[in-house]
């Protein structure tokens, strides 16, 4: 028979109450919608300086014996010089399904968009990725109430979660940091909310209640 210490019993009761609180709380969904494709910054030999490159929305597929090289084509915003972002290098075509291969060959718009929004692939090619303009769609929150917020994005661009929350909640950096330190704003999985980047979906718990009304009524103070 297991005997629980008082601290362990208190912890179990606390976690059960927290689970019940989450279970009966409505989840509010915020969607981060990107308004354009991200541009990349790289050195342009023709311009003689670092410039913006924009996705042309088309692929280049090159066959070398039994292998394929596949790139997404970009063009310099100043002079139009092309640059190819590596998607696959010396890949066996048998490892790609025919539908996907056909989309590469036909310059499928949605597939080109998907790769143009993949910051991970671009960073592997050694280029800087600019964050595209975006808007956050979803109901506003009354910070005097508790809320469970699911933040979703079609593409996992590396937006800071803290930036999204501050913008949507109209909080200054100082106020946001104080609320995070007080445990009022936190991720559901316990990850450091100040360091988190937005993935395809992230859940944030907001629980300010009476503490917020007393100490944090002065939002957006700069």
pLDDT tens digits, one per residue of 143-182: 777 889 999 988 877 789 999 999 999 999 999 999 999 8
pLDDT for 220: 46
pLDDT for 5: 53
Closest among 86, 89, 74 to 43, alpha carbons compared? 74
Fill in the DSSP letter of residue 99. Answer: H
Q: pLDDT tens digits, residue range 29-78?
A: 999 999 999 999 999 999 999 999 999 999 999 988 889 999 999 999 99
pLDDT for 207: 85
Name the band, by pLDDT with cuts 50, 70 and 90, for residue 141.
confident
Q: How far apart are CA 219 and CA 164, in angstroms?
A: 16
Closest among 125, 118, 134 to 34, alpha carbons compared? 134
Name the band, by pLDDT with cuts 50, 70 and 90, for residue 209.
low
Strand partners, 150: 29, 203
4 pLDDT above the threshold of 50: no
pLDDT for 105: 94
Encoded tokens for 121? 């692939």
Q: How far apart are CA 65 and CA 75, in angstroms?
A: 28
CA 95 to chain centre: 29
pLDDT for 71: 97
Closest among 205, 202, 206 to 31, alpha carbons compared? 202
């Amino acid at each position: 028979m297991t005997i629980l210490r008082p601290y362990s019993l208190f912890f179990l009761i606390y976690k059960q109450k927290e689970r019940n609180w989450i279970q009966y709380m409505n989840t509010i969904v915020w969607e981060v919608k990107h308004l354009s494709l991200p541009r990349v910054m790289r050195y342009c030999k023709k311009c003689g300086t670092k410039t913006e490159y924009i996705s042309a929305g088309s692929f280049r597929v090159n066959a070398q014996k039994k292998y394929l090289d596949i790139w997404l084509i970009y063009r310099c915003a100043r002079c139009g010089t092309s640059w190819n972002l590596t998607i696959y290098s010396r890949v066996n075509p048998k490892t790609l399904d025919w539908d996907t291969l056909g989309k590469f060959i036909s310059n499928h718009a949605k597939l080109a968009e998907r790769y143009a929004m993949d910051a991970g692939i671009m960073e592997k090619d050694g280029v800087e990725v600019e964050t595209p303009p975006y808007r956050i769609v979803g109901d506003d929150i009354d910070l005097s109430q508790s809320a469970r917020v699911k933040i979703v994005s079609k593409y996992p661009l590396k937006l800071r979660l803290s930036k999204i929350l501050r913008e949507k909640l109209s909080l200054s950096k100082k106020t946001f940091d104080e609320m995070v330190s007080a445990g009022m704003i936190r991720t559901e999985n316990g990850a450091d909310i100040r360091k988190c980047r937005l993935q395809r979906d992230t859940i944030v718990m907001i629980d300010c209640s009476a503490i917020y009304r007393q100490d944090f009524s002065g939002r957006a103070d700069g």
